[in-house]
Chains A and B, each alone.
Chain A
């Protein structure tokens, strides 16, 4: 049985800005505000809806930040779950259009 893929996309309800390597994100639906560190920012920026999360970790996170692949994958999944819970990222086991409206994924 093939390994299932996780795809992530940024919600269209958010506004985001980067400054000095730090990404700041605000969800306009509830005014929640987040700041992301460099690793989280790299995942957030790569959340195009059609690149699997495992590929993002393998091709972007591990080489860029010199981290253990298994640990990076676990951390990335945790991060994605947290931002998904706040409506910042959308998660699916099928490709998504980037910046999808939060409601359309439910």
Chain B
């Protein structure tokens, strides 16, 4: 049933966004999907949804670009894939989305919008699981199959899951580091993260192996791996340059390591004891090679 536009404010990463629709069923869907992230805060941004019955979820590549090709950084953004098309005006903070009622399309649109907002604010979305342990957030990144969901499944019960798929990172002016926030964007675990945040203590790039071991990475190796795991869609050189600057700052600020792990609960003991001030230098990774391996963010 449809009628007057109804609004739900969804606050992810401390950024409240009003989502409005005149379709009651869609409003119910998004209230359920983002239940832990509904907010009464005053929205910073607004997205209005027009639903269409066509356009099933598409495997096409997403495109995110400014509508005009000049250098005006206030131009309207277009997000488009086979199953949605959105306009977003950064000057007014308002946008309009045309999509079907599929929640995966909605997730994609929200992730794109957050990635743009974060890029301007020195943060980013990372293809990584994250969890809070003893007041500290740990991130576990890697390609599909590297073990992100496995790490969350192995976590002790007192661990707070922020996400098993898409981590949300923002600079934290208070301590000069970064904070990780929970997200509703679930992976294989099919479970929303908790709506809370903590200072990031370490980022681990996962590899499965015969034993649990933490190894250092060179700065270049860390930036390279980080860049390959950041979710970024915008066709915009200025934002890409900002993203590079953010990635360098993150690697400068946050310990980034390689975590080889054998899938048992012992790996969490190693993580909990991790202290960058008391670790050996063995296993430093000095990879140097030309890699012509394009990866779509």
List the interface of chain A (C-beta within 8 A of B): 12-15, 17, 19-22, 24, 26, 28-40, 79, 82-83, 86
Task: Find chain B residues with CB under 8 A from A20 CB.
Answer: 218-220
**A79-B290 contact in complex given A24-B223, A30-B296, A31-B296, C-beta closer than 8 Å:** yes
- Min C-beta distance of A70 to chain B, whole Å: 20
A47 to B239, CA, bound (A): 23
Are B292 and A28 in touch, CB under 8 angstroms? no
A79 to B292, CA, bound (A): 9
Are B233 and A82 in touch, CB under 8 angstroms? no
Task: Find chain B residues with CB under 8 A from A26 CB.
Answer: 227, 240, 243-244
Are A31 and B291 in touch, CB under 8 angstroms? no
A35 to B291, CA, bound (A): 6
Are B219 and A19 in touch, CB under 8 angstroms? yes
**A19-B223 contact in complex given A26-B244, A32-B294, C-beta closer than 8 Å:** yes
B297 contacts A by Cβ under 8 Å? yes
**A12-B237 contact in complex given A30-B296, A32-B296, C-beta closer than 8 Å:** yes
Are A37 and B244 in touch, CB under 8 angstroms? no
List the interface of chain B (C-beta within 8 A of A): 218-220, 223-224, 227-228, 232-237, 239-241, 243-244, 248, 288-297
**A15-B290 contact in complex given A33-B228, A33-B295, C-beta closer than 8 Å:** no
Task: Find chain B residues with CB under 8 A from A30 CB.
Answer: 235, 294, 296
A59 to B237, CA, bound (A): 31
Are A31 and B232 in touch, CB under 8 angstroms? yes
B219, B240, B291: which contacts A15 (Cβ < 8 A)? B240
CB nearest to A82 among chain B residues = B292
A8 to B290, CA, bound (A): 19
Are B240 and A37 in touch, CB under 8 angstroms? no
Task: Find chain A residues with CB under 8 A from B232 CB.
Answer: 31
Q: Which of A24, A37, A40, A79 has the most CB of B within 10 A?
A: A24
Task: Find chain B residues with CB under 8 A from A29 CB.
Answer: 235
**A15-B237 contact in complex given A31-B297, A32-B295, A34-B294, C-beta closer than 8 Å:** yes
- Min C-beta distance of A26 to chain B, whole Å: 5
A82 to B294, CA, bound (A): 11
- Min C-beta distance of B152 to chain A, whole Å: 26
A42 to B61, CA, bound (A): 33
A55 to B227, CA, bound (A): 33
A69 to B26, CA, bound (A): 65
Are A40 and B290 in touch, CB under 8 angstroms? yes
CB nearest to B63 among chain A residues = A30
Are A22 and B292 in touch, CB under 8 angstroms? no
**A35-B237 contact in complex given A24-B244, A26-B227, C-beta closer than 8 Å:** no
